């Protein structure tokens, strides 16, 4: 009765390079910004390059992990305000327990703590998915719960970590000028994120963040995926807490407070859409370095450290405004 209309209906979208630019343009831009900042940063510093790079990497390491944790959650369509305080919990717990440990024991204990952080974060994810309360409310609640727990573990700053453990953050890789602090971030990305990213679990995280309904209809276990994202984020958070311990050498129950806001800032600056489903971790790592470097530049210029708060606040808002305007243009 009916026949297929003979004319071929073809959908032709944007040219491939345009599409690639739209998908990866932001990430490239953040790396370019980072590179562009280097000469200015160098021009202010009196120290040699190797030392500066090392200081930068050490300073940026906890934020890198916090931002990676935040990025995974945001990509899956959520937001986690409790990352900073969970980092503090891991920080004080490691500093309290590791004081008298050998390096090997400390390493083993670190794995345990990463697992613990993953479980804690997964628990948050479980509450979110089971009760169907928005992420922001649950994680706001957990922010205070973890802060309380950190205070309970350690009321005032103290404790310590083995010297060799500190060196994981402070040293360099062998005799090269690659700082350990950067290498650890790279390894974590290689081990924890890269294998997942392009396989079904990773695609599922993007799918769930992009459209929960479509993901479900595509046969994705939405609950499973969202909890999984929180679990993975917990691993990064745990690493962030350990990074705090290794780089500062002590535990401080208030050490995590700045990381919640800064991780959100790094995620936005790194090109991850707060609506979920868009972006990647490479850009976010660059963004964490940009934020850290801008703080260092301010310090080097002798600016009142309080102004750093002002600049950072303004910077974050500007990034979001500009990013919002750009994405609105490209996505009609």
Only one residue has tokens 């919640």, namely: 260
Size of the site for other proteins (CB under 8 A): 79
Q: Which one of residues 45, 105, 210, 254 is an interface residue with other proteins (CB under 8 A)?
A: 210
Q: List phi, psi (to 5°) of 172.
A: -115, 160
Closest approach of other proteins to the CB of residue 80, in Å: 12
Query: Using CB under 8 A, which residues numbered 128 to 157 contact other proteins?
Result: 131-134, 136-138, 140-145, 147-152
Q: How many residues does this entry show for the chain?
A: 332
Told to check if 194 binds other proteins by CB under 8 A, we report no
Cα(53)–Cα(74) distance, rounded to whole angstroms? 29
Chain positions 51 to 80 lying near other proteins, rule: CB under 8 A, are 79
β-bridge mates for residue 314, sequence order: none
4, 100, 175, 302: which one binds other proteins (CB under 8 A): 4
Q: Which is nearer to other proteins, 120 or 169 (CB)?
A: 120
Q: Which of residues 211-240 bind other proteins (CB under 8 A)?
A: 211, 213-220
**Nearer residue to other proteins within complex by CB, 128 or 182:** 128
Q: How far is the CB of 101 from other proteins (least distance, A)?
A: 25
- Distance CA(55)–CA(84), nearest Å, equals 22
Q: Considering beta carbons, is residue 28 or 274 the nearer one to other proteins?
A: 274
Task: Retrieve residue 119's tokens.
Answer: 């479980």
Residue 329 interacting with other proteins (CB under 8 A): no
Residue among 200 and 301 whose Cβ is closer to other proteins: 200
Residue from the set 50, 167, 313, 326 that interacts with other proteins by CB under 8 A: 313
**CB of residue 182 vs other proteins: minimum separation in angstroms?**
27
Give the three-state DSSP class for 35. helix
CA distances from 104 to 99, 100, 109, 110, 111 (A): 13, 12, 8, 10, 11
Could you give the CA distance from residue 238 to residue 260 in angstroms, rounded to a whole number? 14
Least separation in angstroms between residue 262's CB and other proteins is 10
Residue from 11, 39, 48, 174 binding other proteins (CB under 8 A): 11
CA 92 – CA 218 distance, rounded (Å)? 43
Nearer residue to other proteins within complex by CB, 142 or 168:
142
Q: Which one of residues 69, 93, 120, 127 is an interface residue with other proteins (CB under 8 A)?
A: 127
Distance, in Å, from the CA atom of 322 to the CA atom of 290, rounded to the nearest integer, reads 16
Residues in contact with other proteins, shown as a per-residue x/- string from 264 to 293 under the rule CB under 8 A? xx--x-----x--xx---------------
Determine the Cα–Cα distance for residues 101 and 284; give it in Å rounded to an integer: 34
Question: Is residue 123 close enough to count as binding other proteins by CB under 8 A?
Answer: no
CA 254 – CA 49 distance, rounded (Å): 32
Task: Decide whether 14 or 111 has the Cβ nearer to other proteins.
Answer: 14
How near is the Cβ of 51 to other proteins at its closest, in Å? Answer: 29
Q: How far apart are the first and last CA of the chain?
A: 41
- Contacts with other proteins in 78-117 (CB under 8 A)? 79
Residue 251, classed as helix, strand or coil, is: strand
d(CA 58, CA 56): 5
Least separation, in Å, of the C-beta of 293 and other proteins? 18
Residue for token digits 């992420």?
135
Question: How near is the Cβ of 157 to other proteins at its closest, in Å?
Answer: 15
Stretch that binds other proteins, among 53-61, 183-191, 242-250, 323-331 (CB under 8 A): 323-331
* Residue 268 CB partners (closer than 8 Å, separation 6+): 274, 287, 316, 319, 320, 323
SS3 state at 13: coil
Stretch that binds other proteins, among 13-21, 35-43, 49-57, 180-188 (CB under 8 A): 13-21
């Amino acid at each position: 009765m009916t026949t297929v209309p003979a004319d071929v209906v073809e959908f032709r979208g944007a040219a491939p390079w345009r599409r690639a630019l739209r998908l990866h343009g932001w990430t490239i831009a953040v790396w370019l910004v980072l590179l562009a900042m280097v000469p200015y940063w160098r021009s202010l510093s009196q120290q040699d390059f190797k030392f500066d790079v090392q200081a930068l990497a050490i300073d940026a390491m906890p934020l890198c992990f916090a931002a990676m944790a935040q990025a995974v959650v945001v990509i899956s369509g959520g937001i986690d305000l409790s990352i900073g305080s969970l980092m503090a919990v891991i920080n004080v717990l490691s500093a309290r327990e590791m004081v008298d440990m050998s390096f090997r024991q400390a390493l083993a204990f670190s794995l345990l703590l990463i697992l613990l952080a993953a479980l804690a974060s997964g628990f948050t994810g479980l509450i979110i998915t089971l009760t169907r309360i928005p992420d922001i409310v649950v994680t706001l609640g957990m922010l205070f719960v973890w802060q309380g727990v950190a205070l309970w573990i350690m009321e005032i700053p103290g404790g310590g970590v083995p010297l060799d453990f500190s060196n994981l953050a402070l040293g360099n890789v062998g005799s090269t000028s690659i700082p350990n602090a950067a290498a650890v971030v790279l390894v974590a990305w290689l081990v924890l994120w890269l294998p997942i990213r392009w396989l079904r679990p990773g695609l599922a995280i993007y799918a769930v963040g992009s459209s929960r309904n479509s993901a479900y209809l595509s046969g994705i276990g939405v609950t499973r995926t969202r909890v999984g994202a929180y679990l993975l984020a917990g691993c990064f958070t745990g690493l962030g807490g350990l990074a705090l311990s290794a780089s500062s050498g002590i535990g401080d129950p208030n050490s995590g407070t700045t990381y919640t806001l800064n991780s959100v800032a790094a995620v936005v600056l790194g090109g991850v859409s707060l609506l979920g489903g868009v972006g990647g971790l490479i850009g976010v790592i660059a963004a964490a370095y940009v934020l850290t470097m801008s703080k260092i530049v301010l310090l080097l210029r002798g600016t009142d450290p309080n102004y750093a708060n002002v600049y950072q606040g303004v910077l974050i808002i500007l990034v979001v405004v500009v990013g919002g305007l750009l994405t609105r243009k490209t996505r009609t």
